[in-house]
Amino acid sequence: MMDNLLTEEQELTSKKVGRAQGMFGLASLEDRGMVMLINLAFTEGEFAGSTLSMLGRNPVQDTVRELPIVGGTGVFRFARGYAIAKS
């Protein structure tokens, strides 16, 4: 389970814009593949009251990963696409 601060930039001192809420867990016996269900809930700025939903597999051992955007609410209603994660 997670409920993390969502900010404009990577720095923790950056402006707060919402929360990243959801759950994830290891889902593979052969690698570090995780299944993730995350809602980005915006509470500040022009997107306040809207959400984006990600649902899918996150191969955390890869340096760059694509995570599917499967929907949203408010200004993101019917959203489709992907998010890029880098580590």
* pLDDT tens digits, 7-33: 999 898 999 999 999 999 998 888 889
Q: How far apart are CA 40 and CA 17, in angstroms?
A: 10
Q: What is the pLDDT of residue 14?
A: 94
Q: What is the pLDDT of residue 87?
A: 82
pTM of the model: 0.87
Instruction: Tell me which residue has tokens 């760059």.
Output: 64
Residue 57: alpha-carbon gap to chain centroid: 12
Asked if residues 42 and 49 have their Cβ atoms less than 8 Å apart, the reply is: yes
Q: How many residues in total does the chain contain?
A: 87
Q: Tell me: the pLDDT tens digits for 19-72?
A: 999 999 998 888 889 999 999 999 999 999 999 999 999 998 999 999 999 999
Q: CB within 8 A of 82, min separation 6: which ones? A: 66, 67, 68, 69
